[in-house]
């Protein structure tokens, strides 16, 4: 039996948490032979902590053989202690009439605190994956506080967008989903993101040779992927949760699977024309479990360059809003 890994999850009693925790405990994220200890962190709010108790009871009631312990806490120093993976799902939602700058600042305060605490108490091999929005900038903020853990350990999730794009291309081409490969997301997890359809393949052929409707690829395809979150809220009355949890399972599973090729948001270091200090979605190849290299060299045409410039500007503006906080 392997030694259990410690998985800290913030926002554990939220919507995404309710779909996510059971998948982690069942082995979907780290594999069928990897025991886990769940370290569940909620905001210090009575209702949230009570709900967390209920979720923990349900986890007990599943009798998952791989689940070797559950910690419930509102203290990040307890929740992140010795964590090998820190899944930062909890965030402050945008309230009615709230300005984007205020949302960035309120979440900035949360992610500064969490970044510092993780750096102080998490395991030496800790990896951090951010889902709570604005995910890219929250990830950048958390990473800015780390002195011990290197910046590349901090990634933000764009996998939901990748999965959405893959599904839309398959539907349009009338092929099985698995026929679509190498569709990667560049930039922000927001409607400005760019799903780079020109590099995708369908049954091994360029997607653009199978779907020849360029106007659809440049217009409705990019818009549908970019605005899918809003479409789900309009239909369901609630934001995407099960698909987001599933995407986080995919994000981490791909990151622990050497050879996997997938999109994550990472510190750009100036790649693909992004500002150096922002976290932008781009394609990576997992090297050893938890580590990756960015796949460079995909050529960008004028359309792609304009899309990347727009999503880069949004990320640079977000960074500027919180620059004083992280200085
Ligand atoms: P919920 O509001 O259902 O749950 C969030 C939970 O986080 C709440 O239980 C809240 O008490 C908790 N929380 C708030 N501040 C906390 C803190 N400082 N420490 C610990 N817990 C804290 O939201 P849910 O639907 O679960 O979504 C969670 C986040 O994911 C949101 O920010 C949402 O915008 C974001 N999303 C990101 C996606 C992505 O692809 N990157 C897609 C899905 C989702 O919209």
* CB of 135 closer than 6 angstroms to any ligand 1 atom: yes
Mean pLDDT across 15-44: 98
Q: How confident is the model at residue 311 (pLDDT cuts 50, 70, 90)?
A: very high
- The whole-angstrom separation of Cα 313 and Cα 318 is 9
Q: How confident is the model at residue 240 (pLDDT cuts 50, 70, 90)?
A: very high
Whether the predicted pLDDT of 214 surpasses 80? yes
Task: Tell me the β-bridge partners of 263.
Answer: 283
Question: Which token pair is 110?
Answer: 């949360």
Mutational test site, ligand 1, from 8, 16, 106, max ligand atoms within 8 Å of CB: 16
Q: How confident is the model at residue 99 (pLDDT cuts 50, 70, 90)?
A: confident
Largest CA distance in the chain: 56
Pairing of strands 201-202, 205-206: antiparallel
* CB of 87 closer than 6 angstroms to any ligand 1 atom: no
Query: In terms of Cα–Cα distance, which of 266, 261, 286, 295 is closest to 156?
Result: 266
189 catalytic? Reply is yes
What structural domains and CATH numbers belong to the chain?
Answer: 5-156 (3.40.50.720), 159-321 (3.90.110.10)
Mutational test site, ligand 1, from 8, 9, 11, 161, max ligand atoms within 8 Å of CB: 11
Using alpha carbons only, how large is the chain's radius of gyration in Å? 19
Query: Scanning the structure block, which residue is given the tokens 């600042």?
Result: 105
- The whole-angstrom separation of Cα 11 and Cα 137 is 18
Alpha-carbon distances, residue 290 vs 31, 43, 121, 279 (angstroms): 14, 28, 19, 17
Mean pLDDT across 157-168: 98
Provide the pLDDT for residue 94.
79
Query: How confident is the model over 241-265, as pLDDT tens digits?
Result: 999 999 999 999 999 999 999 999 9
Query: How confident is the model over 169-189, as pLDDT tens digits?
Result: 999 999 999 999 999 999 999
Q: How confident is the model at residue 39 (pLDDT cuts 50, 70, 90)?
A: very high
> How many CB atoms are closer than 10 A to CB 312?
22
pTM, 2 dp: 0.98
């Amino acid at each position: 039996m392997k030694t259990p890994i410690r998985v800290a999850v913030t926002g554990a009693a939220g919507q995404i948490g309710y779909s996510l925790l059971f998948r982690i405990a069942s082995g979907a994220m780290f594999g069928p032979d990897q025991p886990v200890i769940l370290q569940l962190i909620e905001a210090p709010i009575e209702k949230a902590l009570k709900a967390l108790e209920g979720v923990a009871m349900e986890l007990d009631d599943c009798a998952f053989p791989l689940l070797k312990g559950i910690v419930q806490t509102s203290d990040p120093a307890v929740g992140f202690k010795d964590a090998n993976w820190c899944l930062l799902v909890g965030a402050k939602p945008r309230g009615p009439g709230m300005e984007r700058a205020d949302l960035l600042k309120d979440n900035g305060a949360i992610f500064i605190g969490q970044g510092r605490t993780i750096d102080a108490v998490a395991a030496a091999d800790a990896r951090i994956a951010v889902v709570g929005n604005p995910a890219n900038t929250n990830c950048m903020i958390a990473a800015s506080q780390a002195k011990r853990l290197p910046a590349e350990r901090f990634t933000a999730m764009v996998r939901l967008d990748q999965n959405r794009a893959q599904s839309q291309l398959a539907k349009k081409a009338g092929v099985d989903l698995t026929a679509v490969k190498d569709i990667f997301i560049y930039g922000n997890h927001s409607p400005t993101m760019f799903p780079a359809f020109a590099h995708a393949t369908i049954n091994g052929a360029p997607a653009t040779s199978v779907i020849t409707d360029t106007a659809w690829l440049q217009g409705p395809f990019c818009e549908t992927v970019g605005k899918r979150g809003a479409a789900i809220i309009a239909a369901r009355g609630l934001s995407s949760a099960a698909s987001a949890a599933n995407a986080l399972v995919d994000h981490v599973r791909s990151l622990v699977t050497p050879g996997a090729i997938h999109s994550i948001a990472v510190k750009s270091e100036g790649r693909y024309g992004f500002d150096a200090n922002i976290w932008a979605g781009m394609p990576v190849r997992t090297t050893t479990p938890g580590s990756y290299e960015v796949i460079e060299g995909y050529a960008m045409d004028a359309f792609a360059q304009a899309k990347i410039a727009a999503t880069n500007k949004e990320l640079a503006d977000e960074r500027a809003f919180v620059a004083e906080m992280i200085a």
